[in-house]
Amino acid sequence: MKLSFSAADEQFRIEVATWLEENLVGEFAQLRYRGGPGDEHMFPEERKRWEQKLAEGGWTCVGWPKEHGGRGCSIEQQVIFHEEYARAGAPGHVGHIGEGLAGPTIIAFGSAAQQAKYLPGIVAGKELWCQGYSEPGAGSDLANVKTKAHFDEQKQQWVINGQKVWTSLAHESDYCFVIARTDPDSVAHKGLGFFLVKMDQPGVEVRGIEQLTGTSEFNEVFFDDAVCAADDIVGEPGQGWAVAMGLLGFERGVSTLGQQMQFQNELNQVITLAKENGAASDPVIRQRIAEAHAGLKIMRYNSMRTLSGADDGSLQKEALMYKLFWATWHRDLGELAMDVMGPEAEMLDGGPYELSRLQSMYLFVRSDTIYGGTNEIQRNIIAERGLGMPREPRVTIKPQ
């Protein structure tokens, strides 16, 4: 793994910073430091236009191969891009699930027809995606999904029935990648399919979930005889587990760089406040800020190590620890922010429910150690898949 940047990379850094300085102005200036988890409800339409502005400049999908519409950036250049993006205070990507998860998965596992159909819309910043993994009875254990898909021979299309939950930005998305059972008698990770489903169709209903912050970036999604084309299954029916695991590899790889961008901005805000209100004079607060800074650097280098491996999305052992690490780090950052705010942390500027950015962040990060696989599930994954320890006894429930 390389830890330094070449002269050409530093020139690339100047190119990124210059473009952001010249374009994050006018109607987009209000988007600085907005968006991302806990703040996804802010400026959705303006952030969609920003996504297309990025595309016009060639700054979407920077790590994708050029033949698929990306910029073909090296790992080092991707790190630089995200560092400069954070430094400029550019907004959270409203299209990050398509760019960081759906696109790389379709490139690695999809057919040429699927790549031609779906990748251009992601590159152009015009088509947004959401993730149909978690279910009410399978939030952290993907192998227990109960959503079903069967192939209608007469209509020559897949028919999907079931429910997903905690689906981020489903209400803004054009497509959803859905894990569903193609074999109704299958259990665990067998008999699954990975489907590319259009959201705007009869049979797809999105219901927002009001969160502790008073916002609704999570959703329930109901599939009631929703359909997708015969060739909109990625891989073979029954082999969806391998595709789903490949996608998780991308989630813990490239997309982590963008996530760390958001974390850096939040930590900077905490540091600025600590200097302003005198909290930084407390040696314990300074120690916790130093630990947060060190933790963010650990995330960065672990991501670079992960990205230095195979490019097919396959999970490396180093990637297994990432979710547990960042979720716990982010939760601790929320608690640090409240302690830096002091007594004002429990007060509101106005009624009925107007939270400051740090108050909202603190409440939101309580969910980080739950969604996307709880800390308990992540520890099992590390122990069993990473360290080769004996499996924890499990009860497998056959779908009804």
Can you tell me whether residue 369 is helix, strand or coil? coil
Residue 211 per-residue DSSP state: -
54: Cβ contacts below 8 Å, ≥ 6 apart: 60, 125
* Whole-angstrom distance, CA of residue 116 vs CA of residue 339: 50
Within 10 angstroms of residue 2's Cβ, the number of other Cβ atoms is 12
Residue 122: closest CA among 105, 99, 150? 99
Residue 64: partners with Cβ closer than 8 Å, 6 or more residues away: 70, 71, 72, 103, 104, 107, 119, 123
Give the DSSP H or E segment for 130: strand 129-132
Angle ∠(335,341,343) on CA atoms, nearest 5: 100
- Per the CB < 8 A criterion, the answer to whether 40 and 79 are in contact is no
Residue 229 CA to residue 153 CA, distance in Å, equals 12
Instruction: Give the three-class secondary structure for 219.
Output: strand
Contact 320, 334 (CB under 8 A): no
Cross-strand partners of 206: 221
Question: d(Cα 295, Cα 323) in Å, to the nearest integer?
Answer: 13
d(CA 394, CA 397): 10
The yes-or-no answer on residue 251 being catalytic is yes
How far, in Å, CA of 255 to CA of 166, rounded?
Answer: 19
Catalytic residue among 251, 266, 318, 344: 251
Where in the sequence numbering do the catalytic residues fall?
A: 251
